[in-house]
Amino acid sequence: MHYLLFYEISADYLARRGEFRAEHLALAWQAAERGELVLGGALADPVDGAVLLFKGESAEVAERFAKADPYVTSGLVTKWRVRPWTTVVGAEASTPVTPKGT
């Protein structure tokens, strides 16, 4: 199953993220190497949040990441939430549905 982790960020996110970026990216790449984090990154124009796509048996994989993320623990992320995402199209879809219904 896929899970989306949504981050809302502080007003000073861009000014402060450099201090925590190496640790955040190390955590993210470790999650990717374990096959948990599929994609992640900041939203652009404007930079007002981020979205990370996780793959796992439950939302816990994304929740565990957020709770350990230095962006969260340092207050750069002011709010986060996880939502299940029912993916149906694409090579990595968790529940593929074709035009024939199979």
What CATH number has the domain bearing residue 40? 3.30.70.1060
Instruction: Please name which of 93, 97, 77 lies closest in space to residue 85, comparing C-alpha atoms.
Output: 93
**102 found inside a domain:** no
Q: What percent of the chain has pLDDT over 90?
A: 93
**90 found inside a domain:** no
Q: What is the pLDDT of residues 38-83, one digit of tens each?
A: 999 999 999 999 999 999 999 999 999 999 999 999 999 999 999 9
Residue 79's pLDDT is 98
What is the C-alpha to C-alpha distance for residues 70 and 22, in angstroms, rounded to an integer? 10
- pLDDT range class, residue 102, cuts 50, 70, 90: low
**98 found inside a domain:** no
**101 found inside a domain:** no
Bridge-partner residues for 77, per DSSP? Answer: 9
**53 found inside a domain:** yes
- Position 52: which residue type? L
Per the structure, the count of domains in the chain is 1
End-to-end CA, the chain: 18
Tell me the whole-structure pTM to 2 decimals: 0.92
Domain with 77 in it: 2-85
**38 found inside a domain:** yes
Maximum Cα interatomic distance, the chain, rounded to a whole number of Å? 51
**62 found inside a domain:** yes
